[in-house]
Amino acid sequence: MHPLICASCLLFAAPAPNAPDAVAKPAAPATAEAAPAAFPKVVVVGIDGASWNLVDPYIAAGVTPTLGALTREGARGELASFWPLRTPQVWTSVVTGKLPGQHGIWDHVSNSAYNPPPFRTAKRKAVTSRERRSKALWQLLDAAGLSSLVVGWISTYPAEQLPHLAMAAPALFASDKRQSSIKGTFWRDVPEQVSPATLWPDVQRVIVEPSQISDAELAPFAEVPPAGSPIYGLPFMERYVYALRWSLARARSVEAITAALAARSTPDVALFYFQCSDSLLHRFWIFKESEAAIDARLRGHKIRTDLVPELKRRFGRVADACYRDIDERVGRLLTQLRGPETLVLVVSDHGFGDAPVPHPSRDEPYGGNHRDLGLIIAAGPQIPAGSTIADASVLDVTPTLLHLLGQPVGDDMRGKILPELVGGAEALRARPPTRVPSFEAVPQLEAPFAEGYPPRKKRPLAVDQ
């Protein structure tokens, strides 16, 4: 477990509400001098479930040349996550520097087993940005007069309305067939996805919905079985094939929306997020392996095995195609967004790898497993090529970016500033960050269930199991 996440972190203070009109730039101590901005522009790329056990082979094979180039010209490292490696929790921690017990986001819905009993509701409710109790990075930057562009980030719907924010927030529907993945996506008939609302026509025009994705467009990912195929008689397979369309539509929407909104202005910070590297690998992981491994997995779940060769042929390239697709989209967006002084930061919420046979989740008979360690890549003019980022956590992202952008860091943030991104430990000692007690009305010193809920029973997934 990462050293930042410990039982000794249990102190108390009530969280402040997350109301946009409560966002205010905190006054730095009179004796403190704000650090100058190390980078005038920042681009943060979120890739769900990415880890070096996958990315390094893909770089070597030429599948992900964009990630390869960033790795060679900058710094790389592992990025520690925290139990239970749940998407909404971790991605919210990335942009707040706080644990779920502080920021208030435990899961996609409010009544699941990932919500500790004191925070669990009786009725099922989709968790939205209104449940977040800590100010996110874009709110802190907005208060300082810095502009942000945020597209596709988890748990941001409905889009927050701030003077210096352009946001496209994916909408989550818990009971609609649209909701092939609980991560949410963009729909032309759903309100409140965009901030400011005046940008809605620009966004609506470029949204891609799953019904628009043809079999031919899916060909790089999979050979879609025809109607009536016995493959659709296998558990979950009809829904999973739809998930291919859903994921490609979401990726196309994220790229198109980011490009369209970035063309209107130049943000100080841009954040965008791609997810097929998690959602599709939960559904199709085993098919990248050998037919013997597929056969063993299906037998473990008491699923017929006579279709193994066809499953391998149709779905064996899903994982590779997903990473290739993300890499191409990131490359195009960086061409548009990146300038000579821009810091590019690639982060993931956790890693992904092999799963025991049979897979422990009955709902994911063909999937892989989350791993504790995701990845971080940093590239920019002040980042030494080929260097290593050590002991990094998802909680470190927001404190580090605030310092790089010349902003103070809250004492109730659980992360640290990564010295490798600010010129080294000596440079950080020479000009330490300006600090404030909190950006909230009341400092969020308590982190209930700091070691995660439900309690962890298994050893860390630092390596494939």
Q: Residue 377: how many CA atoms within 13 Å on its side-chain side?
A: 24
Give the model's pLDDT for residue 32.
Answer: 41
Q: How far is CA 311 from CA 260, 278, 303, 355, 381, in A?
A: 38, 20, 12, 18, 46
The answer to whether residue 295 scores a pLDDT higher than 50 is yes
Instruction: Give the model's confidence band at 16: pLDDT under 50 very low, under 70 low, under 90 confident, else very high.
Output: very low
Residue that wins the pLDDT comparison between 183 and 160: 160
Q: How confident is the model at residue 342 (pLDDT cuts 50, 70, 90)?
A: very high
Number of residues that this document lists for the chain = 465
Whole-angstrom Cα distance, residue 124 to residue 129? 16
- What tens digit of pLDDT does each residue of 243-277 get? 999 999 999 999 999 999 999 989 999 999 999 99
Lowest mean pLDDT among 44-53, 120-129, 397-406, 452-461: 452-461
In the structure encoding, which two tokens stand for residue 71, read together?
A: 């790795």
Query: 17-21, 36-40, 119-123, 327-331 — which is least confidently predicted?
Result: 17-21
For range 361-388, the mean pLDDT: 93
Q: Is the pLDDT of residue 178 over 50?
A: yes
The pTM of the full predicted model, rounded to 2 decimals, is: 0.91
Q: What is the pLDDT of residue 183?
A: 86
The DSSP-derived string for 4-71 is: TS-GGG----PPPP--GGG--PPPPPTT--PPPPS-SEEEEEEETT--HHHHHHHHHTTS-HHHHHHH
CA–CA separation, 110 vs 128, rounded Å? 10
Tell me the per-residue pLDDT of 126-168, one tens digit each, with 9 for 90 and over: 899 999 999 999 999 999 999 999 999 999 999 999 999 999 9
pLDDT at residue number 166: 98
Residue 355's pLDDT is 77
More confident residue, 97 or 459: 97
456 or 134: whose pLDDT is higher?
134
Amino acid present at 426: E
What's residue 236's pLDDT?
Answer: 94
- How many Å from the N-terminal Cα to the C-terminal Cα in the chain? 17
List, for residues 389-448, the tens digit of each pLDDT value: 999 999 999 999 999 999 999 999 999 999 999 999 999 999 999 999 999 999 999 999
pLDDT at 174 over 60: no
Q: pLDDT at residue 300 above 70?
A: yes
* 338-to-136, 341, 407, 424 alpha-carbon distances in Å: 23, 8, 21, 23
Of 228, 258, 221, 227, the C-alpha closest to 243 is 221
Total Cβ atoms within 10 A of residue 38: 21
Tokens representing residue 10 in the block = 């249990």
Q: What are 76's strand-pairing partners?
A: 377, 388
Find tokens 């965009």 and name the residue: 194
Rounded to the nearest angstrom, the gap between the alpha carbon of residue 391 and the centroid of all alpha carbons in its chain is: 19
- DSSP string for residues in 410-451: ETT------GGGTT-HHHHHHSPPPEES-SSSS-----TTTT
Predicted confidence at residue 4, as pLDDT, reads 40
Mean pLDDT of 277-281: 96
Q: E strands along 226-363, which residues?
A: 269-274, 342-347, 351-353
Confidence of residue 31 (pLDDT cuts 50, 70, 90): very low
What is the pLDDT, as a whole number, of residue 145?
96
φ, ψ of residue 193 to 5 degrees: the values are -85, -15
In angstroms, the CA 169 to CA 92 distance is: 13
Checking if the pLDDT of 332 tops 80, the result is: yes
| Mean pLDDT taken over the chain | 89
